[in-house]
Structure 1
Amino acid sequence: MMTTAELAQVLFTTALQPSDALSPYAIRAAVDERLCACGGDPARCAGQVAQEAGDHPEAYARRMRWALGAVAGAYQLAAA
């Protein structure tokens, strides 16, 4: 089982945007798809997050806050 932080890092690397109207299902599907693209290794996604943080520090915190909130909601509903 992945932590909320790991799930958020994976979501961070997807093309989804905070302005998109996203269902919990769409968020979980995007995380699953991206994790598969990273070979099932959340550390590979984390490397991409680090690269983005270095390249775009002004947008990093805002996007990570969104990703954390989005996965917390999407996976809380899935567990209920």
Structure 2
Amino acid sequence: MAEKMQEPQRQRPVTVRIEAFKGSLARVVAESGLPPFLLEMLLGEYLIGISQVAQKEYEQDRADWEKDCKESEADG
């Protein structure tokens, strides 16, 4: 029985995902019924968490990049 080759799954472009995210976020905010001062507090806390994750990701990417550069220099 011949196996069917799977084609790589297409991903939505980041610009399309951003617009979908904005729409979802706007809907959730509107449906929450929370007053703006609470939304500001909650979204601020959420942003701090995202910023911490983004910083860790940056640090890991930079460390990986520097390691790859050193290995490339050693190889050639």
TM-score normalised over the length of structure 2: 0.32
Which one has a bigger Cα radius of gyration? Answer: 2
Higher relative contact order (CA 8 A, sep 6+): 1
